Amino acid sequence: MRGQNDNVNHRAGRCRNGERHAPVGLLSRERWLWRFITSLGIACFINVLNAGCQSGESRPDQTTTAASTVAAGTQSFDVFKGDDIQAVLDHAAEAGPGSVVRVHEGTYAPQQAGQTFLRFNARHDGLTLEAIGEVALTAANAEVADPGAESYPAIVNHVVYFGDGVSRRTTIKGFTITGANSFITQAEASTPLEPAGRDPLLKPGLFFYADGGAIKVFGRSFPTIQNNRIVGNSTRLCGGGISIEHRGLQHGHVMIQDCVFFNNCCPGTGAAIDVLERSGATIENCLFVDNIANTGMDRIADEFGLRYNDQHGCGALTVFPGSHVEVRRCTFTRNWNAVDDRGKGSLYEDCIFWHNTASDGSRPGGPYEIDILDATGVSGCLLGGETPDLRGSLDASRNTLDAPDPDFDTMFLPGSAAYADVGYRSVIDSHTSDTP
C-alpha cells in the first residue's frame, strides 16, 4: 500500500463474464432503472445516471427550507434535488436520535472527490435515512471525474460509510446504491471519516480504503441496511457491495434486510458482501444475482501479497475466520460461487443456492454453491449446481443437496412447490405505487 498521504486512483476492471442483464421485472419498484441496465449495460447506466444527477426542476430556496426545518426542531427533514444530503444529516444529528431524513426522488452524486459520498459517525447514531420514491445514490460524477482515469466516472471510494459508534437504530432504507468503480483516495477531507486518535484499533489500513464500494462498515458499527438495491459496484480489492470491518470490536451484528445485490464485482473476496475477520452480520430475505468475485486473484497476490481461497475462489458472500453471520431466507443464483465461510457457528436457514456457476475458469477448481468449515448451523436449505457442498460438510438429512429446479420468475421468486417456504421474497414499500 502506498503512503498515507498518497492518492491512489485505480480500477480492477469491470466484471467480465459475458453480458449480464437484469431480468425484466426484477425490482419492479424502479422499472426505469432496469430498462437502462438491460438496454445499455451497467456501465452505460451509471453514465446516464450521472449525466442527470443535477438535472430536473429545483424546489425554490431548497437550502433555506432544509435549514429552517432543522431550526424549527422537528424530527423529520426533507431533501430535494439540489440539496446537500450530508448537510441535512448533520443538522438532523443536532436534533438527536429518532430523527428521519427523507430523500425525495432523483439521483444524488458527490460534488467532489473523496473517500465517501455520505458518512455516518457516532454523532449520527439513531438517524434514519429514507428514500421517498425512486432515489439513487451514486459514486459517479462525470463532470468532476478525470475522463482518463480507469475509475471514471466514480469519484469516491464508498458511496455510504458507517463509522465507529453507530448502533442498530441507525437505518438506511429504500435506495439504489450504485456507481462505485474501484476509485481509491487516501486523502483526508476537512472532516476525517474517523476522528484521529479516538482508538488505536481503528487506524485506517488497506481494507479501509479499498473495500466496500457501495457501503463500508467500520469499527463498532452495527447499522440497519434495509430494502436497498446494491447494483453495479466494483472495488479495487474486495467487497464490491458491502464491506464489514469490525476488527473484533463486536457488540452486535450489522442488520442487512430485504436487500437485492445485483452485478457487483471485485478482484478478490465477497463480491456482494465481505465480512472481514472478527466481524458479524445478520442477513435476512436478500437476493444475490450475478455478483462476481475472483476477477483479479492473481494480480492481488502479486501486488499485495494476499492469497485467499485460491483454488476455487470466493463467493458473493465471504465470511472470514473469527467472524459470524446469520443468513435466513436468502436466494443466491448466477453468482461466481455463492458462499464461502471460514467462521464458526454461522447460521444458514431456509436459503436457496441455485447454479452459482459463473466461473470463467481462472481458478484451478470449479465453482460451488457453499464452502463452509462449520456447517452445524446449516438447515432447511435447498442446493443445486455442479458442486452443491464443496467440503461435504452439510447434513443431508437437514438440507436438500440435489434440489429440483426452482422455476424462478422474472423477480427470482420460485414457482416450484418445493420452495414454498424458503428463499427471498420481494418487499414493496408503502411509499411506492408500483406493484410486481
- The DSSP secondary structure of 173-223, one letter per residue, reads ES-EEE--BSB------SS-SS-TTS-GGG---HHHHHS-SSEEEESSB--
Range name among 253-257, 271-275, 299-303 with the lowest pLDDT average = 299-303
Residue 86 phi, psi (nearest 5): -60, -40
pLDDT one-digit tens code per residue, 57-109: 344 343 334 443 444 444 899 999 999 999 999 999 999 999 999 999 999 99
Is 4 part of a structural domain of the chain? no
Q: Residue 402 corresponds to which cell in the numbers above?
A: 440435489
Higher pLDDT, residue 365 or 402: 402
pLDDT of residue 302: 72
What is the torsional sign of CA 416, 422, 423, 427? positive
| Secondary structure class of 43 (helix, strand, coil) | helix
pLDDT of residue 69: 46
Q: Are strands 317-319 and 100-108 parallel, antiparallel or unpaired?
A: unpaired
pLDDT exceeds cutoff 80 at 423? yes
Specify whether the CB–CB gap between 210 and 266 falls below 8 A: no
Q: Residue 50 corresponds to which cell in the numbers above?
A: 450521472
Q: Could you write out the DSSP letters of every residue in 296-341? A: THHHHHHHH----STTT---SEEE-TT-EEEEES-EEESSBSSEEE
Separation between Cα atoms, residue 145 and residue 46, nearest integer Å: 13
Specify whether the CB–CB gap between 240 and 291 falls below 8 A: yes
Cell 432523483 identifies what position?
106
Range of the domain at 125: 28-56+80-419
Separation between Cα atoms, residue 85 and residue 110, nearest integer Å: 10
Burial group, residue 265, by CB count within 10 angstroms (0-12, 13-18, 19+): buried
Share of the chain above pLDDT 90, in %: 67
Is 153 part of a structural domain of the chain? yes
pLDDT exceeds cutoff 70 at 329? yes
Mean pLDDT of 170-197: 87
Separation between Cα atoms, residue 264 and residue 266, nearest integer Å: 7
Closest alpha carbon to 363 in 290, 270, 296, 411: 296
192 φ/ψ sector (left φ>0, alpha ψ -120 to 50, else beta): beta
| Secondary structure class of 31 (helix, strand, coil) | helix
pLDDT exceeds cutoff 50 at 34? no
For residue 403, give the DSSP letter: P
Is 237 part of a structural domain of the chain? yes
Is 299 part of a structural domain of the chain? yes
Is 7 part of a structural domain of the chain? no
Is 102 part of a structural domain of the chain? yes
- Greatest mean pLDDT among 60-64, 212-216, 308-312: 212-216
pLDDT of residue 15: 54
Burial group, residue 241, by CB count within 10 angstroms (0-12, 13-18, 19+): buried
pTM passes above 0.95: no
Higher pLDDT, residue 22 or 401: 401
Cell 481462472 identifies what position?
362
Specify whether the CB–CB gap between 378 and 398 falls below 8 A: yes
Specify whether the CB–CB gap between 49 and 135 falls below 8 A: no
pLDDT of residue 32: 36
Is 65 part of a structural domain of the chain? no
pLDDT of residue 51: 40
pLDDT of residue 417: 97
pLDDT-based confidence at residue 24 (cuts at 50, 70, 90): very low
Separation between Cα atoms, residue 312 and residue 404, nearest integer Å: 24
| Rg of the chain over all Cα atoms, to the nearest angstrom | 20
Q: Are strands 242-245 and 215-218 parallel, antiparallel or unpaired?
A: parallel
pLDDT exceeds cutoff 50 at 48? no
pLDDT of residue 405: 98
pLDDT of residue 196: 61
Is 165 part of a structural domain of the chain? yes
Separation between Cα atoms, residue 72 and residue 75, nearest integer Å: 9
Cell 435447498 identifies what position?
382
Alpha helices in 226-296 (DSSP H): none
* Helix or strand run (H / E) with residue 161: strand 156-162
- Number of domains the chain is built from: 1
- At residue 231's C-alpha, the angle toward residues 127 and 413, to 5°, is 100
Q: Residue 391 corresponds to which cell in the numbers above?
A: 467440503
